[in-house]
Amino acid sequence: MENELALIIEDDAYLSEIYSAALSKAGFKIEVAREGQAARTQLAALLPRLVILDLHLPRVSGKDLLKEIRADQRLANTKIIVVTGDTQAALTVQTEADLVLVKPVSYIQLRDLAVRFRSDGTLNPPKPI
């Protein structure tokens, strides 16, 4: 399967590096936006299959970006994983996101989710054995 694009929207440089490494290992081509307005610009020019989205960003909030992505017909097939340390905010977006993860999120956790996403097209957890 060819590399598909993942856009990581995260203002913490350390976390964006971890997420980039995990998604790259899962076979995604990576683009990173470190603040909301840059993410808006990249979303207008790119067609990512997957977006990793922090909710608390400079300039434009992740919540606003989530609404904009969901309203954009061009991005209708883009899957969104919200990654946030704010459990209250996580609750408010769980119906709009495909998956919500509460920080800290490990390299292995994100890599394995991305591998499953690439292999079967869903972000659902595996069925218990």
* pTM of the model as a whole: 0.88
Q: Where are the domains of the chain?
A: 4-49+59-79+96-120
CB of 29 closer than 8 Å to CB of 4: yes
Coil vs helix vs strand at 105: coil
Structure-block tokens of residue 108: 């292995």
Count of CA atoms in the C-beta half-sphere (13 A) of 46: 22
CATH superfamily, domain at 4-49+59-79+96-120: Response regulator (3.40.50.2300)
The predicted-structure confidence for 12-63, as pLDDT tens digits, reads as follows 999 999 999 999 999 999 999 999 999 999 999 999 999 999 999 999 999 9
